[in-house]
Structure 1
Amino acid sequence: MKFTNGLRTLTTMGAVTALAIGLAGCSGMSDTGSGGQANPANENCESVDKVTVVLQWLTQAQFAGYFAADDKGYYADQCLEVTIQEGGTNVVPNQVVASGNAEFGVSLLPRSLASREEGADIKLISQIYQNNSYLQVAWADSGFTELADLKGTTLGAWGGGNDLTLRAALAGSGINMDTDVNVVQQPFDMSLLLNREADSVQALTINEYAQLLETVNPETGELYTEDDFTMFNLQELGYNTLADGVYAQGAWLEDEANQDIAARFLAASYEGWAFCRDNAQECVDIVLQRGSALSATHQLWMMNEVNKLIWIDNGTPIGTVNPDDFERTVQIAIDGGTLKAPASESDVVDSSAHDAALKLLDATGVDVIGAGFEPIEVTLTEGGK
């Protein structure tokens, strides 16, 4: 990597700017894709750092905070030009970051722990989602009342490591996923359940569960309701694993200038997420303008559910890593076979940029805790239109 020296001025940050003064600016790693175009930095910046963040999936409200930070000029105010690169089935953010082709990546902790165990030099610098959203869903007429009732049934699962939490939860209910159920490969939709080709299927509260409620019941001509389904919330059963967090290359973070870049990226991203907390509909509009394939109402549902995962009113700021949640995730990853050996939080997590980001935001009035957050009411429509 090449480095260029130069002071930067963040006029909107007031006295907090002193934290950034004197640090060298990084020219950024190579651009790896044709994701969202970066907005130009604030004209008051004496130097600009160009960086890329790679998402773990396609453009949708799951990542709205980053799009909002770009659209509202928060990255620009931090003297950053940020390219937001879509993920997908063939894009692994951890690998992109570890190889030096993006400064930041968004990924799940279990996957990231496995990547580290395989040799990827990545660090968790911010834990955006405080809760996960895994469900196992069946028809209400199935008669299932507890997870143990799924023994001997046909069960839809995503595989590819996406069934890790389910595997652990089933084991906790005395079910070996390899021998006690008939597992069928589940696409990332609800077709197996709707066609009654499986007795239960995986879903996320932020996405697939809404697909069920956006489907018309052919017997009534009305949309299905929650009363039509039995839902097992794996988090409420004690199997909460840490989901979307921000990762950076460990070697890259060793440079003081890059820690400064990371702090400014997180500060702007936190401001973007806070904006989405308070302006869900506008954030959905921003995501739709970026070319999301999902429909407007579905995206609003997702935005509302994502906010519930981030702003949990536990008195800690956005981005904080809860030690208990970290340890639980590690144990579930080990029990599920994703991880071979325990991982230490001190080895995996580098909170320096997170702490500096919070200091940068101290002077701005941005609410990084969201104690008063209240979810909105979302009325789903057929197909999420």
Structure 2
Amino acid sequence: MEHSTRLTRSRVIGGIGALAATAIVLTGCSSGGSSDSTDSASDGDLTPVSLQLQWFSQAQFAGYYAALDQGFYEKEGLDVTILEGATDIVPIDVLTGGDADFAISWVPKVLGSIEQGAAVTDIAQIFERSGTTQVSMKDKNITMAADLSGKTVGSWGYGNEWELFAGMNKADVKLDDISLVAQAFDMNGFLAGDIDAAQAMTYNEYAQVLETENPATGELFTPDELNVIDWNTEGTAMLQDAIWADSDRLADDADYADTAVKFIKASIEGWAYARDNPEEAANIVTASGSQLGESHQLWMTNEVNKLIWPSTSGVGTINQDQWDQTVKIAMDTPNETGATVISEEPPATAFSNEYVEKALAELKDEGVDVMGEGYTPIDVTLKEGGE
């Protein structure tokens, strides 16, 4: 399917204006999108909505870019602006500061903010599975958390370490049993041999290794040369990418609550599009200005789809057992300083299925597959450097 994308860039004003974050607005011109959303928006027919991402434009957020490009947001009467993240942008701070209407962030990171007073609600749990792993070379014989004992273990920190620490705790591996290394957000230390087991997202850093030439063979590394600890398998996975809304606005502003349902609905339709059209979705993200290579972008789209599909209860539903596991780990797992994410149960307002259930009901009535029971990943061939 051919599609064209018109990009406009503007500075984000308000609380994050000083950070010079980039707002990206895509207007879809392919079949399924409307013919002229820019004119509609100028006529005042659409409700302006801003979404704060937790990182730069990449296929981790393919569903939102696809919903924008394909006109799904416009179909719901929304004029959506996507705000890119950066290392110094905390999505929940942007949301609570009034500079975004919705934000994408990991649940454990937000639980800490909620305990500190942030009034926000998880209104759609898009990623049902965790994408966090520990990757090692085959000859290190690290296949499970128990094998980390005596090894040099990389961790990004900044709230990304909790699944690792929980997995070690479950396997009775103490922090004193490993050499913990502050890992950069890349795999350079791992590839240099300074880290035995490195933290890696399935959709990003793991691919970085597979995009690199193995000096011993002269060919790119292959999965057969690596071992991966999957926290989903180890039983310490925590909920990641979710759509967050302002709790007070949900309670006090009926229009905002209605907009939340529309935003969730269109976003899920965007993720269904990314599931069924991964190549097109990857191209849409690339056209948004992402700096990642084409094969890496497609790999990321494919791997993120695996975290969503098939869905247990309908995409976006917050499953109580998964929420409870995330909260328990956040309360019971200490980091290297002895601190936990939270000290007590979060309030009832921390998540709600009210809005996603309405969105799912409408999507089902319109024939959109929100379960993906027959989902099958595609095969992606990575090129050197992800090009």
Give the shorter-chain TM-score range.
0.7 to 0.9
Check conservation: 2:145, 2:234, Cα contact below 8 A: no
Per the TM alignment, residue 359 of structure 1 is displaced from its structure 2 partner at its CA by: 3.0
Kindly indicate whether residue 353 of structure 2 is the aligned counterpart of residue 351 of structure 1.
yes
Q: Which moved more, 1:349-358 or 1:205-214?
A: 349-358
Check conservation: 1:159, 1:185, Cα contact below 8 A: yes
Secondary structure at the residue paired with 1:120? coil
Counterpart for residue 220 of structure 1: 217
1:319 to 316, 329, 344: 316
Kindly indicate whether residue 204 of structure 2 is the aligned counterpart of residue 207 of structure 1.
yes
Paired amino acid for 1:155: V
Residues 96/313 of structure 1: CA separation in 2 closer, same or farther (3 Å cut): closer
Residues 264/31 of structure 1: CA separation in 2 closer, same or farther (3 Å cut): farther
Mapped to 1, the partners of 2:193 and 2:212 lie a distance apart of 14
Mapped to 1, the partners of 2:379 and 2:25 lie a distance apart of 32
Secondary structure at the residue paired with 1:53? strand
1:341 to 341, 344, 365: 344
Mapped to 1, the partners of 2:60 and 2:147 lie a distance apart of 32
Counterpart for residue 19 of structure 1: none
Task: Kindly report which structure 2 residues correspond to 1:146-165, keeping only aligned pairs within 5 A, or say none.
Answer: 146-165=144-163
1:363 to 355, 362, 365: 365
Kindly indicate whether residue 325 of structure 2 is the aligned counterpart of residue 328 of structure 1.
yes
Kindly indicate whether residue 304 of structure 2 is the aligned counterpart of residue 301 of structure 1.
no
Per the TM alignment, residue 197 of structure 1 is displaced from its structure 2 partner at its CA by: 0.6
Q: Which moved more, 1:374-383 or 1:41-50?
A: 41-50
Per the TM alignment, residue 134 of structure 1 is displaced from its structure 2 partner at its CA by: 1.4
CA deviation vs aligned residue, 1:83-108 (integer Å, no higher than 9, x gap):
10001111111111112111100000
Secondary structure at the residue paired with 1:235? helix
Paired amino acid for 1:358: L
Secondary structure at the residue paired with 1:36? strand
Residues 154/130 of structure 1: CA separation in 2 closer, same or farther (3 Å cut): same
Counterpart for residue 11 of structure 1: none
- The alignment covers a number of residue pairs equal to 354
Per the TM alignment, residue 350 of structure 1 is displaced from its structure 2 partner at its CA by: 2.3
Check conservation: 1:134, 1:233, Cα contact below 8 A: yes
CA deviation vs aligned residue, 1:227-261 (integer Å, no higher than 9, x gap):
21121111111011111000011111121111111
Per the TM alignment, residue 149 of structure 1 is displaced from its structure 2 partner at its CA by: 2.3
Mapped to 2, the partners of 1:257 and 1:143 lie a distance apart of 55
Per the TM alignment, residue 184 of structure 1 is displaced from its structure 2 partner at its CA by: 1.3
Per the TM alignment, residue 155 of structure 1 is displaced from its structure 2 partner at its CA by: 1.2
Mapped to 2, the partners of 1:342 and 1:61 lie a distance apart of 33
1:35 to 23, 26, 33: 23
Gaps in structure 2 of 5+ consecutive residues: 1-12, 28-36, 334-339
Counterpart for residue 81 of structure 2: 83
Per the TM alignment, residue 147 of structure 1 is displaced from its structure 2 partner at its CA by: 2.1
Secondary structure at the residue paired with 2:23? coil
Kindly indicate whether residue 375 of structure 2 is the aligned counterpart of residue 373 of structure 1.
yes
Mapped to 2, the partners of 1:222 and 1:53 lie a distance apart of 41
Paired amino acid for 2:113: S
Percent of aligned positions that are identical: 41
Secondary structure at the residue paired with 2:25? coil
Per the TM alignment, residue 34 of structure 1 is displaced from its structure 2 partner at its CA by: 3.1
Secondary structure at the residue paired with 1:128? coil
Mapped to 2, the partners of 1:181 and 1:362 lie a distance apart of 49
Counterpart for residue 109 of structure 1: 107
2:187 to 156, 181, 190: 190
Paired amino acid for 2:369: D
Check conservation: 1:109, 1:241, Cα contact below 8 A: yes
Check conservation: 1:59, 1:86, Cα contact below 8 A: yes
Report the aligned-residue RMSD. Answer: 1.8
Mapped to 2, the partners of 1:317 and 1:165 lie a distance apart of 25
Check conservation: 2:156, 2:182, Cα contact below 8 A: yes
Secondary structure at the residue paired with 1:326? helix
Mapped to 1, the partners of 2:128 and 2:182 lie a distance apart of 28
Secondary structure at the residue paired with 1:203? strand
Q: Which moved more, 1:346-355 or 1:161-170?
A: 346-355
Counterpart for residue 49 of structure 1: 47
Check conservation: 2:26, 2:65, Cα contact below 8 A: no
Paired amino acid for 2:94: V
Paired amino acid for 2:191: L
CA deviation vs aligned residue, 1:93-131 (integer Å, no higher than 9, x gap):
111111211110000000111110010010110000000
CA deviation vs aligned residue, 1:111-161 (integer Å, no higher than 9, x gap):
111110010010110000000111111111113343222212211111111
Paired amino acid for 2:23: G
Mapped to 1, the partners of 2:292 and 2:332 lie a distance apart of 35
Counterpart for residue 135 of structure 1: 133
Mapped to 1, the partners of 2:270 and 2:193 lie a distance apart of 41
Secondary structure at the residue paired with 1:96? helix
Check conservation: 1:42, 1:79, Cα contact below 8 A: no
Per the TM alignment, residue 354 of structure 1 is displaced from its structure 2 partner at its CA by: 1.2
Residues 38/193 of structure 1: CA separation in 2 closer, same or farther (3 Å cut): closer
Gaps in structure 1 of 5+ consecutive residues: 1-28
With normalisation by structure 1, the TM-score equals 0.88
